[in-house]
Amino acid sequence: MDGAIQIEEAAAAGQHEEELAGGHSYKEEEEIFSRSTQKVGLFFATGLSGVLVGGIFGMAYAYFGGRLASGSEWTRSISLAGALFVGAFLIPFLKYPANPPTVGDPATIGSRTTAYFALVALLLLVVLGTWYAARTLRERGGVGAPVRQLAVGLGAVVAVGVLFLVLPAAPDPGEFPAGLLWDFRLSSLGTQLVFWAGLGVVFGLLCERANRREPLGS
């Protein structure tokens, strides 16, 4: 992030010098929040979003937990966290990988944000539809596990492919240094992987611990 900010500041300084050399006036944009303030805000925003996602995960588990095929709270928690990680981050990451500042036209940030969240919402519906289709076929019987899994998996792949084709393409990074770009993207991927893995593990352990407690008054 700091490396991307340095590139952004260097580009702004170069534009300033070019405009002055050409006899044009240059009006520096007023900085609403300093970089240090933005970093502190990012820290607290990350924490709040983690709490929000954790609450949503708990509600989703309360609804889907008893409907999952897994036999224990541990495997149910891990399975749900894995499914949400794939649908809410991993597959959207393949279409719209994380980009540092200076990548993409600032004028299109609204449309790009809308396209990203639309993809996330639609992919979560695909994950839900895939789970429902697999559950329905399993309960009806008459369809072997290999055929059932291949059919459901193929349907999910087709749905994801259609979404990738319909939604706008990701912005071109242009001349942004490839090494710095992929360091940023892999850091983002690693952060989300740790978050979802930690959420699934901690929630599963807490559920297993709650089940081992003896009822009060026994």
Top-confidence residue, 177 or 81:
81
The answer as to whether 39 is a domain residue is: yes
Look at residue 109 and tell me if it is in a domain. yes
Check residues 36 and 134 and name the one with the higher pLDDT. 134
Per-residue CA distances from 45 to 62, 88, 91, 184, 212 (Å): 26, 18, 23, 19, 35
Mean pLDDT calculated for residue range 71-83: 90
Tally of structural domains, the chain: 1
Q: Is residue 84 part of a domain?
A: yes
Per-residue confidence band for 6, with pLDDT thresholds at 50, 70 and 90: low
Domain holding 141, by residue range, is 35-212
pTM, whole model, 2 decimals?
Answer: 0.77
Mean pLDDT of the chain: 82
The answer to whether position 13 is within a domain reads: no
Task: Please list the alpha-helical segments (H only) found in 22-108.
Answer: 35-64, 73-85, 91-95
Is the residue at 205 inside a domain? yes
The tens digit of pLDDT for each residue in 102-137 reads 777 778 888 999 999 999 999 999 999 998 998 888
Rg of the chain on CA atoms, in Å:
23
Query: How far is Cα of residue 133 from the mean position of the Cα atoms in its chain?
Result: 24
Asked, for residue 21, whether it belongs to a domain, the answer is no
Q: What type of residue is 209?
A: R
What is the distance between the alpha carbons of residues 2 and 30, in angstroms, rounded to a whole number?
Answer: 20
Instruction: Please report, rounded to a whole number, the percentage of residues in the chain having pLDDT higher than 90.
Output: 44
Residue 23 inside a domain? The answer is no
Establish if 3 belongs to a structural domain: no
Contact criterion met (CB below 8 Å) for 163 and 119: yes
Cβ(123)–Cβ(156) under 8 Å? no
What's the pLDDT score for residue 65?
A: 77
Q: What confidence score (pLDDT) does residue 26 get?
A: 46
